[in-house]
Structure 1
C-alpha cells in the first residue's frame, strides 16, 4: 500500500477508488433491497384485494406506484390515503354473515335429498338463526354439529350418516353425490402414507360400492387425516426455518462484531501512526535546531524509546486482537459449515417433499398436481412459440372387471404395467401422468394431431398385444384414448374438454380405439 508521505498522489487515488467502489456496492445493495420490498408490497396488495371494496382502489393505486419509478412523496401519499380508507371502513357484522350462512345451511338440511327427519330440531335451529343468536359462523357450525351428534339411537353411524339420515332416497340422488365425491377425492393431494387408501376409496366410489353413507364417512375421515399430516409437515418446516433464521441472526451478529473489531483496529493503527509521526517530526526538529551533541543524543534516545514502547504496545495489542479475530473467524466458519449442512438437508427435504407431492405412489408417474403444473407451463410456451402440442387422455377398458375378478392387487399390477408401457413409448420431451383411477394423461410436445394419432395407435397396439398375467392367467387388456391439439386461442381447459369428449366417443364406438376430437371453429 502506498504511503501518504512517500507517494501522496497514489495514496489518495487508491483511497478514492476504494471509497468509490464501497459506495457503488452500497448503492447496489440498497437498490436490490428496494426491489425486494417493492415486490413484497405488490404481492401483499394482491393478497389483500377483495376483502373490502372500499380498499381495493387504494390497493390498486399503491400497486401502480410501486411498479413505477419509486418516489417517496407518491408512496407516502398513497399510504396515507390507504390508512384513511382503512379507518373509515366499518367493522364487519359477523352476525349477518352467520345468519345468511345459517339460512343456506337450513335450506340444505330441509332438502328432500337429505331426508333429515327431525323437523322439531330444524324449527328450533331456524328460530335461533333468524333471531341472530349466533354471533359468528363458528358458533353456528358448533350448534349444528351438536344437534346432529345428539340425535338418539345413531351413535354407531358416522357424522355423514347422521346428516343424511342413514340412507339416500333414490338412485338419482346417489349418482348426484358419487360424481362430486369422486372428483373431490381425485383433486385432493395425499401424502405417500395415505395415497393407497385414497386410491382404494376412489375405486370404491367409482365402481358403485353400495354403502354410500360409509363412503362419505370414510372420505371425511381420510380428508381429515390428510389435513393433519399436511399440518404436521408444515409445522416441522416452520420449526426448521425458525431455527435456521435464528442461526443466521447469530451469524450476522458475529459478522458485525468482526467488522467493529476491524474498524477499532484501523482506528488504533491510525492513532499509533499519528503518534509515531509526531515523534519522528520531533526528531527532525531536534536534529535541525539542537547544537549540543549530548543533548541531541538524549533527545533521540528518549524519543526512540517512546517510539519503541509504542510499537511494542501496538504489536501486543494487534497480536491479541488477531488471536481474538482468528477465534471468531473459526467460530463463524464452523457455523457456516453447520449452516450449509442444514441448508443441504433442507434442500433434500424440500426435494423429497416435492417428489412425494407430485408423484403417484403406485405407478411412480407424475400425478394430477404435476400435470397441472406442466400443462400451464406448456400452454405459455405454446402461446409464445406456437410449436404444436397434442393432449391425449387414456382410460383402461373395463378395468373394474380386473378388480372384480382378480382383486385390487391385480388391478394395481395392471396400472403399473400399463404405465411402464406408456412412459417407455414417448420421448424425454413428452409428459405422461396418472390423472386418477385408471386414467392417464399425455402431452406430446412438437406433435400435431396426425403425429399424435400415429404415436397413440402404436401404444394402443402394444398394450393390446402385451403379455399381462396375474394369478398364473393371461389377462387381455385394452385401452382407449381421446386426443386434441392446441389451436387458435385455446386454453388448456378447452383442449382437455375436447380430448375428454373424444375419449367418450372412443368408448361409445366399442373401446380399444383412439379418437381425434374435432376443433370447434
Structure 2
C-alpha cells in the first residue's frame, strides 16, 4: 500500500466501484436468468397450445426452447424467433379461415334442421333463437363447443319427435304401422342401393367383349331385381372389371416386354457395330502400313537401280503389289459399309416398330383417360372431371381474382319418370337435357353430370346479373322441350342453385352453398333459380 493518501483514497474508490459493478452484474445475471426462465415457461405453454396444429411450428418451438436452455448465441435465438413468429402468423390466418368455415357450416346445419317438417313448435323456436344468437362469428373454436352441443341436442330431439310420431297411434295398430314404416325404410334403402348401383353401371367403361354382359345387368335393373339377383349382378360386374384390368395389365406387360427386347437388341447391335468399327480401324491401319511400306520399298528400288530397264521391271512389279493392296482395302471398306448399313437398317426397323407400338399404346392410354373423365350415358364430363377442373379453377381464382361461379342443377320429379315410364325413358331424358345444356350453354361454362339427375356447371368471367339471366333462359328452354313417353306428353323442369366463389371459400364451401341454393329452389316449388 502506498504512503500517498491521495493514491490510497483513489484505490479505495476503485475497489468500491469494482464491488458495485460485480454486484450489479450479479443482479443483471439473476434478472436475466429469471426472464429467461419466464420466456422458456411461456414458450412451453405456447407449445402446448399449438401442439398438433403444424409439425413445422412444433419443431421450431422445441428448437427455440432448446436454444434458450443452452444459452445459445443471441443471433441464433433471434433468427429462430423471427421464423417462429412468421409460422405463428400463418397459423393465425389458417385458424381464421377454419373459424369462418366452421361458422358457415354451423349455420347451414341449423338452417337444414329448421326446414324439416313436423318439428315441435318449442324446438323450432329454440333453434331459431340459437341461429339468431350465433349470427356473428366467434373468436375461438372453444366458443362454438356449447353451440354445437346445443345443436346436437336439437337434432336428437328432432329424431325423438319423429320416432314418437311413428308410434303415437299406440297398441297393436301402432306396432303394425311402425313395422310397415320400417319395412318401407328397408325397401327405400334397397331402392337407394339399386339406384346407386345403376348409376355406377351406367358410368362403367368396359371392353367390347364385355359390353353384352353389362347390357344384361342394365336390363335386369330396369325390369326390377331381387336381392339375390342383385348380388349376382354385382359379382358379374366385379368379374368384368377384374378381367378387363387383367387384360389391360397383360397388354402393358407385352408392350413393356417388347420394349425391353427391342432396346436389348439395339444395345447389342450398337456394341457389335462399335466392335466392328474398332476391328475395321485396326485392319485399315495394317493395310495403310502395308501400302506405306510398299511405296517406301519402291522408292528405295529407284535409288538402287542402275538402268532404265531395271527401273521399269522393278516399278511394274511393285505397282502390281500396291494395286493389289489398294483393291484389298477397297473391298474391305465396301464390306464394312455393307455390314454397317445392314446393322443400321435392322436397328432402324426395330426402332420404327417400337415407335409404332409406343404410339398405339399411348393412344390407348389417352383414350382410356378421356373415357375415365366422360360420363358414358350423356357424353358430358363426369364427376371426376369436375373435381379436377374445379380444383384448378379455385387455385387460379385465389391467384388471380375473377368472377367464378358454380351452379348445381337437378331435374324435378325425375324419379316419377323412371317409375312410370321405365329407366330407358329416364336415360333418354338425361341425354336430351345434356344436349340442351351443350346447345344453350356450350363453351360458356364447364358442364358435367355430377350423378343421377344432377348436373354441375362452372362459369368463369360471368357476373351475378348475367349468370341469373342465362340460367333462367336455360330453365325456360328446358321446360319447353317436347318429351313424349308412351303417347303421353310430359313436361320436364329443372331447379337451379348458384353462387359466386368468395375469397375465403374452399372447394367444399362453395359447392355446399350452391347445393343449399338448389334446396331452396326445390322448396320454393321447383322450376326455380336461387342465387346465394
**TM-score, normalized by length of structure 2?**
0.56
Q: Say how many residue pairs are matched.
A: 346
1: CA distance, partners of 2:468 / 2:221 = 30
Tell me the residue number matched to 2:490: 475
2: CA distance, partners of 1:233 / 1:325 = 39
Tell me the residue number matched to 1:332: 347
Asked if 2 retains the 8 angstrom alpha-carbon contact of 1:365 and 1:433, the reply is yes
| CA spacing shift, 1:180–1:280, aligned 2, 3 Å | farther
Tell me the residue number matched to 1:402: 417
Q: Deviations over 1:231-267 (max 9, x none)?
A: 3323333323322332333233334433443443344
2: CA distance, partners of 1:202 / 1:493 = 33
Tell me the residue number matched to 2:365: 350
| CA spacing shift, 1:241–1:458, aligned 2, 3 Å | farther
| CA spacing shift, 1:270–1:443, aligned 2, 3 Å | farther
Aligned pairs for 1:495-510 (under 5 A) are: 495-510=510-525
Asked if 2 retains the 8 angstrom alpha-carbon contact of 1:391 and 1:485, the reply is yes
| CA spacing shift, 1:391–1:477, aligned 2, 3 Å | same
Tell me the residue number matched to 2:304: 290
Bigger radius of gyration: 2
1: CA distance, partners of 2:329 / 2:404 = 74
Asked if 2 retains the 8 angstrom alpha-carbon contact of 1:366 and 1:432, the reply is yes
Q: Deviations over 1:440-466 (max 9, x none)?
A: 122223334443323222211110122
Asked if 2 retains the 8 angstrom alpha-carbon contact of 1:483 and 1:499, the reply is yes
SS at match of 1:354: helix
2: CA distance, partners of 1:372 / 1:202 = 28
2: CA distance, partners of 1:500 / 1:236 = 43
Tell me the residue number matched to 1:160: none
| CA spacing shift, 1:408–1:360, aligned 2, 3 Å | same
1: CA distance, partners of 2:264 / 2:467 = 55
Asked if 2 retains the 8 angstrom alpha-carbon contact of 1:389 and 1:443, the reply is yes
1: CA distance, partners of 2:301 / 2:493 = 110
Q: Which of 381, 404, 407 does residue 392 from structure 1 map onto?
A: 407
User: Which deviates the most, 476-485 or 245-254?
Assistant: 245-254
Unaligned runs of 5+ in 1: 1-167
Asked if 2 retains the 8 angstrom alpha-carbon contact of 1:203 and 1:437, the reply is no
User: 1:427 Cα shift?
Assistant: 4.0
| CA spacing shift, 1:406–1:203, aligned 2, 3 Å | closer
Q: Which of 386, 400, 406 does residue 371 from structure 1 map onto?
A: 386
Tell me the residue number matched to 2:466: 451
Asked if 1 retains the 8 angstrom alpha-carbon contact of 2:403 and 2:463, the reply is yes
Asked if 2 retains the 8 angstrom alpha-carbon contact of 1:191 and 1:229, the reply is no
Tell me the residue number matched to 1:319: 334
1: CA distance, partners of 2:385 / 2:222 = 21
Aligned pairs for 1:161-172 (under 5 A) are: none
Unaligned runs of 5+ in 2: 1-180
2: CA distance, partners of 1:344 / 1:393 = 39
| CA spacing shift, 1:258–1:373, aligned 2, 3 Å | farther
Q: Deviations over 1:305-344 (max 9, x none)?
A: 3322221112222222333333333333333443333333
In terms of fraction of residues, the more helix-rich structure is 2
Tell me the residue number matched to 1:265: 280
| Root mean square deviation, CA, Å | 3.7
SS at match of 2:204: coil
Asked if 1 retains the 8 angstrom alpha-carbon contact of 2:380 and 2:447, the reply is yes
1: CA distance, partners of 2:405 / 2:217 = 30
